[in-house]
């Protein structure tokens, strides 16, 4: 395929001829590929590249681009759906299903590498009164308030979830039972000291907790059951003190 201008070549003799030839080579390298050059990569000879064939190939390439874009949108939607499936409906934290899955994964990791870890199980005290006295909308706002306190006061590597109703869980990665106990006390204190209002009325919130360190051979279900049992023991103890 010829590339270059058709005008007269300036200059005579060897120097002018070399200059003209260099100019031709430069233009040949810099010239953009034509449609025939582009589609030749599909193995179609240039002499067979009729307008109809070229149009069909361009249409096919456009369809491939459209399908690729649609696939990317579908994949993004799947990611968003997976995130929604794992998220609690009231707060930007894990729901029970996702929390149990992550707890199972962290227990397995801890047992394999001996890194340790603990679970904090939190239950709000007398939370039914909030719903009864102020309505379920106030109760939902209070649960979101608690979730925000937990998220703001744990590490990014830790996992916060709502286990159902007014119960929350926190997975503390690489944390001993003593460290987890201190963190649980801190979280409960923050919940009690936090300012929460509904329609201008202050509402007091408090919580009880149980802490259970990951144990070899213990699955997520048993770990949660033990932390829950310890939480209720602490709750009963607090009631007797009161």
Which residues lie across from 226 on neighbouring strands? none
Q: What percent of the chain has pLDDT over 90?
A: 57
72-109, pLDDT tens digit by residue?
A: 776 765 555 455 589 999 999 999 999 999 999 999 99
Q: For residue 124, which of 206, 49, 191 has the smallest C-alpha distance? A: 206
Domains assigned to the chain: 96-241 (3.30.70.270)
146-159, pLDDT tens digit by residue?
A: 999 999 999 999 99
Token pair 């001993």 in the structure block, residue: 176
Decide if 161 contacts 227 (C-beta within 8 A).
Answer: no
Q: For residue 159, which of 71, 217, 95, 206 has the smallest C-alpha distance? A: 95
Decide if 160 contacts 102 (C-beta within 8 A).
Answer: no
Using the Cα atoms of residue 52, residue 58, residue 61 and residue 66 in order, give the sign of their dihedral.
negative
Is the model more confident about 53 or about 109?
109
What band does 110 get if pLDDT is binned at 50, 70 and 90?
A: very high
CB-CB neighbours of 136 under 10 Å: 10
CA–CA gap between residue 29 and residue 52 (Å, rounded): 29
- Taking all residues of the chain, what is their mean pLDDT, rounded to a whole number? 82
């Amino acid at each position: 395929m010829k590339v270059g201008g058709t005008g007269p070549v300036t200059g005579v003799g060897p120097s002018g001829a070399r200059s003209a030839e260099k100019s031709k080579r430069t233009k040949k390298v810099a010239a953009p590929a034509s449609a025939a050059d582009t589609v030749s990569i599909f193995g179609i000879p240039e002499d067979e590249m009729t307008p109809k064939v070229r149009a069909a190939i361009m249409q096919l390439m456009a369809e491939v681009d459209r399908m690729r874009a649609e696939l990317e949108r579908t994949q993004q939607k799947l990611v968003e759906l997976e995130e929604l499936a794992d998220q609690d409906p009231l707060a930007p934290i894990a729901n029970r299903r996702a929390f149990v899955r992550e707890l199972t994964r962290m227990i397995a990791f801890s047992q394999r590498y001996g890194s340790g870890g603990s679970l904090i199980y939190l239950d709000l005290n007398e939370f039914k009164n909030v719903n009864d006295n102020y309505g379920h909308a106030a109760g939902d706002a209070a649960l979101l308030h608690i979730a925000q306190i937990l998220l703001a006061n744990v590490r990014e590597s830790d996992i916060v979830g709502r286990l159902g109703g007014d119960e929350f869980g926190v997975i503390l990665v690489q944390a001993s039972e003593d460290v987890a106990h201190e963190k649980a006390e801190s979280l409960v204190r923050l919940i009690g000291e936090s300012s929460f209002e509904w329609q201008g009325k202050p509402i007091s919130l408090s919580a009880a907790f149980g802490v259970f360190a990951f144990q070899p051979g213990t699955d997520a279900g048993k770990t949660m059951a033990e932390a829950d049992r310890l939480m209720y023991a602490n709750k009963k103890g607090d009631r007797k003190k009161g």
